[in-house]
Structure 1
Amino acid sequence: MKRLSPTPVEHHLHQLAQMATACLIEEVNLTPKPGLVDRRGSGAHHDLTLALMERSARSLTPTFYALAQQSWQRPADIALRETIGQLGREGERQMMAATAGVNTHRGAIWALGLLVSAGAMLAGTGDSHRVCEVAAQLARLPDRAAPKTFSKGLRVVHRFRVPGAREEAQQGFPHITRLALPQLHASRRAGADETAARIDALMAILTSLTDTCVLHRAGLPALRAMQEGARQVLTAGGYAGAAGRKALEKLDNAMLRFNASPGGAADLLAATLFLDRITGAQAATFND
């Protein structure tokens, strides 16, 4: 029996899912990153490896596809919010099965899941700001089936009275739209290679993010060291230059001393790469 070719919509759904997974893999492979898993090793972690993170990312492709499929050209309403919430929790279970119970990408499922859904709701149109606006509309809606227990991130939010991943999404991902994407594009224009431009984008996030992963592991002193160290990298001209690389090495050493890893920033970097990629893919499609 002849296999039918995928429809244009099916092709776009698969593309969204594959891009989300690819961006998670690109994020973890980006090297060097302060305190985070990369190609050098496990950073400040004892239970994470590059291979485990890549396996986790690939396990999420079906979840991203389901999110895109259920969201295609739908409005932001409670029914959709609860559907994507359920799909996200199923994705967490698949991730945990793939990693033997290690939490590798829970935060990324939230951020990228919302953005995949928003991209599908817009049927592949809209710039990065519009995608983030639609994702924010979803994030602000209630999910009656959401667990009532506090995660580590939520406990940190309440303890330190800082915004966390939920607030970041509800505000339209300002660390992506106002900091990471502009820095990514500026570094590229300045002649930085892709690795340096992406590291600079991560630094831009780190300059102001109240990363709950860092706060949970090492408190406010580590957060302040992270933010100031990232500012020094960018003030030195970014990772493309010798001074910027030296400043990043100093930041990496500080994070290791604190045993702190900015996992929330890593999730936002993957989301940044996703928005950069889908925007570019849309432009290429429209120019064909």
Structure 2
Amino acid sequence: MKSRMTEEALMDEIRDMKQWIMRMSKQQQLAARPEALQALHDRLTAQEVGEPWSERLLEAVEAELAATDAADSAIGGGSDRDAVWGIAERTLLAWLSGFEEGRIGSETRVVHFVGPTGVGKTTSIAKLAAEQTLKAGRKVGFITSDTYRIAAVDQLRTYATILNVPLEVVFSPAEVTRAFQALEDRELIFMDTAGRNFRNELYVSEVNSLLQPGSRSETFLVLSLTGKSSDMSAVAANFARFGVTRVLYTKQDETNAVGAVLNLALEHGLKPTYIAYGQTVPDDIAPFRASDYVKQLLGAPHE
């Protein structure tokens, strides 16, 4: 017994030692980096970009610098931020090249909105409904299954009245077919769902049972950029299991950190569709543009 305890204590000590060595090695690597690369690392950290993607980007920048004639000035002098930021921008745009296809398609008939509580699903639906009604000229209808919160139904009903859009309320999966039949003359239907703790896969499965499968339907996961990156990743992972590939981000105006967009794109393959940046309907929302996003993520080289 004593021998076993000694072995376990020894293994714990070895693990602690390995972790300490890794931390020291990491700190030495960071300390050895030129000022421009360290500044980029600090910027990415402030933007809450995940460590794997931050390191991968820095390695890509270092590799390109080393392969150019500017390597001596950029790495040796360590002051050429413009070169570092330029390579980082091009690299990020290449990574995000396939992530600008998330807008509502012209052939789409049903868009489901899912996501945690308090992220702004209902307001986002109103913004997109106004866009599709007023700009695209499509006949829009609303369905809501968010009967857990009476205020949510009332809020969507208010928007429906303002936009002159019909609204159907469903209380169970059995009523979904009836609601779609009532809106059969509509060209585009937005379906709101109840916000739950979607870190729990059971709730994700429950909401998924309400969704209408088919080639003309899409599902947007709605997430707030003010949320914790780890929570957002857990929610995204659960929905990704059910084939959800698109995400609408809200509350950009309430945070300076937007690294979660990059993290979820690279980790879960989630395509950003729209970015909402305020409460005003229908104005405070815009389609995701990789070039605009990368500029916001990196900021100016000499900030």
TM (normalized to structure 2)?
0.27
More helix by share: 1
Structure showing greater radius of gyration is 2
More strand by share: 2
